[in-house]
Structure 1
Amino acid sequence: MFEADIAGYLAEHIDDRIERRRLNGTNDRGDLTGLKVHGLRVVVECKNYGGRVEIKPWLDEAEIERGNDHADIALVVAKRRLTTKPGDQVVLMTIDDFVALVTGQRPGTGIEDRADD
């Protein structure tokens, strides 16, 4: 339900082609499809969690999905506690993804350029 709520909100406010993606099995390509910025494809991983924010594992998962989907940008939409409004949820992304979002160009060539900190 969380994924559908976020997809509906983004479809209403950005592009009506954004929708909840069907499950892909082992080669997951994110939870939402149809989001583009500057013509760049965006993978969205939604996290409806009940506890602690897991930034590194969530961003790592989104990055793998970005590669699986041959997308340019990966981001995580995480549910905030005590609110169900889609517009109140938070977005996590790496600086490389933020640069691509703002400029329309992704620094480097992708996964192989990332340091494993």
Structure 2
Amino acid sequence: MSRSRASAKKAGTRHETATAAYLARHLDDRIERRARTGAKDRGDLSGVRAPGGGRIVVECKDTVRIDLAGWARETETERRNDDALVGVVVHKRHGVGDPGAQWVTCTLADFVALLTGTRPEED
């Protein structure tokens, strides 16, 4: 059975809410779903920070089709819009309900920034 636009939006909202709740419980209780901001989107969650204090943009995806390249472009745009240190994509593992077992994808530059607190210069 294919998804309707309404059921896809509902699944996305459920995934964002579960991700925010999981991160709030384990990292910082100020993490929450972000209100939609249109063209200057800054990710799906607010309040996510790296250990050094830099902001982390989180883009949540609950789709059947994987589009890592497209998601990475979208997340990088949102990271720049937010002037954040890092951008990551949290994507749903279908058939897996545990929020802590979902996939997280980022670029190697984002991974370095997470580990060091400093964004590497582009090559």
What's the TM-score once normalised by structure 2's chain length? 0.86
| Residue 86 (structure 1) shift | 0.4
Opposite residue 101 of structure 1, the aligned amino acid is L
Opposite residue 56 of structure 2, the aligned amino acid is V
Separation in structure 2 between the aligned mates of residue 3 and residue 68 of structure 1, nearest angstrom? 20
| Residue 52 (structure 1) shift | 2.3
1:41 to 52, 55, 63: 55
Separation in structure 2 between the aligned mates of residue 28 and residue 84 of structure 1, nearest angstrom? 27
SS of 1:36's equivalent in the other structure is coil
Separation in structure 1 between the aligned mates of residue 117 and residue 42 of structure 2, nearest angstrom? 21
- Would you say how many aligned residue pairs link Structure 1 and Structure 2? 109
SS of 2:74's equivalent in the other structure is helix
Separation in structure 2 between the aligned mates of residue 66 and residue 13 of structure 1, nearest angstrom? 22
1:54 to 58, 67, 75: 67
2:28 to 8, 12, 15: 15
Opposite residue 3 of structure 1, the aligned amino acid is E
Q: Which runs of 5+ in 1 are unaligned?
A: none
What's the TM-score once normalised by structure 1's chain length? 0.90
More strand by percentage? 1
Work out whether 1:25 is the aligned partner of 2:69. no
Identity in percent: 50
Opposite residue 57 of structure 2, the aligned amino acid is V
Opposite residue 29 of structure 1, the aligned amino acid is R
Root-mean-square deviation (CA), in Å?
1.0
Q: Which runs of 5+ in 2 are unaligned?
A: 1-13
| Residue 22 (structure 1) shift | 0.4
| Residue 100 (structure 1) shift | 0.4
- 1:1-117 → structure 2 map (5 Å cutoff): 1-37=14-50, 38-49=52-63, 51-108=64-121, 113=122
Structure with the greater alpha carbon radius of gyration: 2
Opposite residue 54 of structure 2, the aligned amino acid is L
